Amino acid sequence: MGAWGYLPFENDDALDWLEELEAGGADVVRKALAKAGDRYVEAPDGAVALAAAEITSASQGNPLGDLPENVTDWVTAHGPEITAEDVEMALEAVERVAGEQSELAELWDDADEPEWRESLDDLSERLRTALR
């Protein structure tokens, strides 16, 4: 796992995906969230889904503090395209990536880094706030 931190944009998979994000609108986020589908979630797909969930939260006015500049620019340009249904999809994606059928969850649990799970709890709460 090419990660240097537990936050959504602190890994190679998410940063590589940002290039795709810059080239598209909300559909790119939706496709990334769908990568955490009803099956075993491989680590790269989980990392991308978490980045997309973070962008979804930021698009609803609940960002994680400092976002990469290109993410902030995307949210400014395309954030209004993100719907309540997308927020629900993002919340489900976070739950799947945090679940038992997730390689990323296995890797972080093996690393004994509780901050990762805490960051997912925070992201889930920010997404729930957007649904209220």
Q: How much is the average pLDDT of 8-19? A: 95
Residue 82's pLDDT band, with cuts at 50, 70 and 90, is: very high
Tokens linked to 3: 């990660």
Q: Is the pLDDT assigned to residue 4 strictly greater than 90?
A: no
Q: At what angle do helices 114-131 and 43-59 cross, to 10 degrees?
A: 40
**Residue tagged 């979630």 (tokens):** 41
Structure tokens at 47: 């990392």
CB 2 within 8 A of CB 48: no
pLDDT digits (tens, 9 = 90+) for 50-68: 999 999 999 999 998 889 9
CA distance 98 to 17: 20
Average pLDDT, the chain: 94
Residue-wise pLDDT for 28-49, tens only, equals 999 999 999 889 999 999 999 9
